[in-house]
Structure 1
């Protein structure tokens, strides 16, 4: 029994001595000077690493331009997007509450295109790229929503949804420095045997070169993309069926047939209108 008690006390004493040994002054197996040296080493070591990281970040930032990305070769052609922001549009023309989300989406998107705001922008020369290399703050070419006429939401507040002939807005993604050759225009087709009647605004879906190039968010702060509105002129025979529609940008060197990217220069969406 005495041996067991002595062994138990020895273990307890050994454990306590490891935490703090009053005879040697060691804490967790190290003296105060040893702890000071190892902490000093880690402070210097990690301080050196932090300094190296800060230096390399500073050097890298010196190579960047606040106005233009350093590397822009991954996306040579823009993608197409639509508004309202849905790829499957289902419209019940007799139920305003059902299609109101599409109408509100279009209205919100076109706020920046209101004629009163666009009057403050420049009336650029049509048919020519608007180059502004010497100006730090770039001017913006005017694009009024009234140019979208029947799809502007001005005369018809429902953008044709109440009539069962909905409007869809097509826009190209922004790419800094893009200068498309030729005369770009948007062309839409329905994937079925018979053609679907559509009306384009501006006329023939043209995208004027004067809206290019785009100089970036900082230099071109108030820039608005040119739009093409497509009014789907559906008839009674077109109702109650899903219509698959593909829109492409054509008439220029912009790509629209890359099978690896379904949105490069084109977009496909579906529309179904019921009474």
Structure 2
């Protein structure tokens, strides 16, 4: 016991020695010198950091990214995202009749749609003959977008007619090229879609198909709302005020149940290259409706 008391007494003396006026083994002058040193040291360190930060901001343009086009991370080739994606690690859209099965799918889609719902009156109305003025952005007609796939019908999942929301990634300054009679044949689209493209070439068309013959047979009809793609007048994105990316709902109204189907959706434009490995120019997902 005496040994423990001696150790505690020694530690207490180290913390504060009243005879020598020291705290943690140092006197007041020693603590003042150390405090002054670290004050000067961290002040200089903060000054260097702020200086480099100021230099960095001098090289950054707030209106546009430093690297654009083929120099950007996306190399001028947009990717595409889809919802619902209730788990970022999986591309399987699976549900069945009970509400708890498809409620997360509705919430996932609504996270994307919420800004569109709140900003329905922002931007300017556009069409093929009336592109937006410089510096303005086209409005996304939320009512038209959600006419068939909407919050009230749980985006089709309630009736086992699932809707999948498609959105093309933004690339600053990128402009889609229109198809011509010469290059539409190399698009990989069906003859029916090729005819539609040539009738209105000023669109980025979305083409969803089953990856295998069995997938195509069991997917059934595929519908697109409000149109089968993104009109060119939404492009280019130049950081316009209130800019909203165009959206497309893809609906599968008569999918065969109890079979996992692999679906591939591509964005079609002459300057969009599809690469599934790099996740460029389209998306891949699986669809499964449990009985």
TM-score of the pair, normalised by structure 2: 0.68
* Aligned mates of 1:120, 1:37 — CA distance in 2: 61
Q: 1:32 to 1:251 in 2, by over 3 A?
A: closer
The structure that has the greater radius of gyration is 1
2:245 equivalent to 1:225? yes
- The 5 A counterparts of 1:86-235 are 86=86, 87-93=91-97, 95-114=98-117, 117-126=119-128, 130=132, 132=134, 135=135, 139-148=136-145, 151-153=148-150, 157-182=153-178, 183-194=203-214, 195=216, 196=219, 197-203=221-227, 205-216=228-239, 219-220=240-241, 222-235=242-255
* Aligned mates of 1:42, 1:212 — CA distance in 2: 54
Deviations 1:104-125 (A, max 9, x none): 33234323333x8423431124
Deviations 1:117-176 (A, max 9, x none): 4234311242786462xx4xxx3312113333554316x522221222211010012222
Q: State the partner residue of 1:6.
A: none
Contact 1:190–1:244 (CA<8 Å) still a contact in 2?
A: yes
Instruction: State the Cα RMSD in Å.
Output: 3.5
SS of residue matched to 1:90: strand
Contact 2:274–2:281 (CA<8 Å) still a contact in 1?
A: yes
Q: 1:33 to 1:119 in 2, by over 3 A?
A: closer
Q: In the TM superposition, what is the alpha-carbon distance from 1:249 to its structure 2 partner?
A: 0.7
Q: In the TM superposition, what is the alpha-carbon distance from 1:193 to its structure 2 partner?
A: 1.0
Contact 2:262–2:285 (CA<8 Å) still a contact in 1?
A: yes
Q: State the partner residue of 1:70.
A: 66
Q: In the TM superposition, what is the alpha-carbon distance from 1:96 to its structure 2 partner?
A: 2.1
Q: In the TM superposition, what is the alpha-carbon distance from 1:61 to its structure 2 partner?
A: 1.2
Query: Which has the larger displacement, 188-197 or 104-113?
Result: 104-113
Query: Which has the larger displacement, 168-177 or 145-154?
Result: 145-154
TM-score of the pair, normalised by structure 1: 0.71
Gaps of 5+ in 1: 1-15, 23-29
2:276 equivalent to 1:273? no
* Aligned mates of 2:209, 2:80 — CA distance in 1: 15
* Aligned mates of 1:96, 1:34 — CA distance in 2: 70
